[in-house]
């Protein structure tokens, strides 16, 4: 605990544990002595903490490593078999529930589409059931689920524990997501805005590149949002809704948005806006779904490609606003729209951005497409939970020993 009284013994131990398990995760497999070098902790401290971790089943020994002078030492790594977390991603038109190991690797998952019909209450109940099913499956495989994270479309008020606005879907603001999940799953549950979760997923996998810098993850999906990580910390804002770039305007006299603003970015480049536009332009008899319209782009349908490009151009305007606001070194673009034609999208956005920002700024930044997984946000949801586990290992595992 930070405070006027300094650090007590217990919190020092927690900090050392956190440091070591984080280092071990990044190293993959290594020897205790190597961890002592990296952490600058005493060998005895490392040995004691690793003994606890091994007793708890968080770390395991994985045979011998041969060092530079031919000396053999026992290799250790995070035990990815005994514990797990649940990651949930709630979208406007679908949801994903996944089981992850302690390193943040996906073990099993279900993605479900949601029709326009069912109300948030019914969808939420289904999500809870799927999460419990996955926990049951995990248990059959002798994996104990110890925490859960959920990534939700913002703006989400952390203080109220509720989604304040989900464009195009009403009723979510009546559900206490965290409270209900905690009670139902009987687990610590962490809620994060989806783009923030996506940013954390990127950061988790490439921390070496991103630390001491500004990373912005842009989720271009059913809504548009940004997760901003500066020097390893998420920028959350005063009530936790920073990064809602979907509701920044790119056209001051554009159509009015449900948030109150006019010409909001997400109404020009989200997957919902894109699908709607393709349907309007193609005047097809049957309304095409997002994946059908995406397929048209991939198949080279001229009209669909034009609309996709226009959507990229619109997103670029939003990205330029982000660049001039936060001066990021890294921008990573993810979510549904980013998976239609990643190379095409990246090329177009880079060209647009280069034209619109100062050369000095452009020369010192990098734009790329998300490579973490097809859904960095469900990944990120799990990582939010794992981060808490790694921050307080004692809280999760101490009672397991004996
Ligand atoms: Zn808006």
CA of 163 to the centre of ligand 1 (A): 15
Category of 283 on φ-ψ map: left (φ > 0), alpha (ψ -120 to 50) or beta: left
**Cα–Cα distance, 370 to 338 (Å, whole number):** 8
Q: What would you measure as the largest C-alpha separation in the chain, in angstroms?
A: 72
Residue 91 tokens read as 């979208």
In this structure, are residues 396 and 215 in contact, taking their beta carbons and an 8 Å threshold? no
Structural domains in the chain, sorted by start: 9-78 (1.10.10.10), 83-197+377-400 (3.30.420.40), 205-374 (3.30.420.40)
| pLDDT per residue of the chain (402 residues) written in tens, 0 to 9 | 444 456 677 788 889 999 999 999 999 999 999 999 999 999 999 999 999 999 999 999 998 888 777 788 899 999 999 999 999 999 888 899 999 999 999 999 999 988 766 788 999 999 999 999 999 999 999 999 999 999 998 777 777 777 776 766 778 888 889 999 999 999 999 999 999 999 999 999 888 888 889 999 999 999 999 999 999 999 998 887 899 999 999 999 999 998 899 999 999 999 999 999 999 999 988 999 999 999 999 999 999 999 999 999 999 999 999 999 999 999 999 999 999 999 999 999 999 999 999 999 999 999 999 976 667 899 999 999 999 999 999 899 987 544
Residue 190 exposed, middle or buried by CB count within 10 Å (0-12, 13-18, 19+): buried
CA distance 296 to 346: 18
Neighbours of 207 (CB within 10 A): 15
Cα 217 to middle of ligand 1, angstroms:
19
- Ligand 1 center to residue 61 CA distance, Å? 52
CA of 127 to the centre of ligand 1 (A): 27
Distance 362 CA to ligand 1 centre (A): 28
Distance from the CA of 267 to the center of ligand 1, in angstroms?
8
With vertex at residue 394, the alpha carbon angle to CA 55 and CA 63, rounded to the nearest 5 degrees, is 30
Distance 195 CA to ligand 1 centre (A): 16
């Amino acid at each position: 605990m930070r405070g006027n009284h300094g650090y007590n013994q217990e919190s020092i131990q927690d900090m050392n544990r956190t440091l070591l398990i984080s280092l071990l995760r990044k190293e993959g497999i290594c020897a205790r002595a190597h961890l002592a070098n990296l952490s600058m902790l005493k060998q005895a401290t490392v040995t004691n903490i690793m003994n606890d971790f091994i007793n708890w089943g968080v770390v395991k020994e994985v045979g011998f490593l041969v060092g530079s002078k031919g000396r053999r030492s026992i290799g250790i790594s995070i035990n990815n078999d005994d514990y797990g977390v649940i990651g949930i991603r709630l979208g406007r038109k679908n949801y994903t529930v996944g089981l992850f190991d302690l390193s943040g690797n996906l073990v099993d998952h279900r993605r479900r589409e949601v029709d326009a019909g069912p109300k948030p209450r019914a969808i939420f109940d289904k999500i809870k059931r799927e999460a419990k099913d996955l926990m049951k499956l995990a248990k059959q495989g002798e994996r104990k689920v110890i925490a859960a994270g959920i990534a939700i479309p913002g703006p989400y008020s952390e203080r109220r524990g509720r989604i304040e606005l989900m464009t195009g879907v009403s009723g979510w603001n009546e559900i206490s997501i965290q409270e209900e999940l905690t009670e139902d799953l009987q687990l610590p549950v962490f809620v994060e805005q989806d783009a923030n979760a996506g940013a954390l997923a990127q950061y988790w996998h490439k921390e070496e590149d991103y630390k001491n810098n500004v990373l912005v993850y842009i989720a271009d999906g059913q809504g548009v949002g940004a997760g901003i990580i500066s020097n390893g910390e998420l920028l959350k804002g005063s009530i936790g809704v920073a990064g809602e770039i979907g509701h920044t305007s790119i056209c001051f006299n554009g159509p009015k948005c449900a948030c109150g603003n006019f010409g909001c970015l997400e109404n020009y480049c989200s997957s919902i806006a894109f699908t709607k536009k393709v349907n309007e332009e193609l005047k097809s008899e049957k309304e095409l779904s997002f994946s059908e319209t995406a397929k048209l782009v991939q198949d080279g349908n001229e009209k669909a490609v034009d609309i996709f490009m226009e959507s990229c151009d619109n997103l670029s305007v939003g990205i330029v606003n982000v660049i001039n606001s936060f001066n990021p070194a890294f921008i990573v673009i993810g979510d549904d729209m980013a998976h239609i034609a990643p190379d095409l999208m990246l090329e177009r956005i880079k060209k647009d951005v280069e034209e619109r920002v100062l050369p000095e700024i452009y020369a010192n930044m990098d734009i790329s497409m998300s490579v973490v997984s097809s859904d960095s946000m469900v990944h990120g949801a799990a990582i939010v939970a794992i981060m808490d586990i790694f921050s307080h290992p004692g809280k999760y595992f101490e009672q397991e020993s004996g």
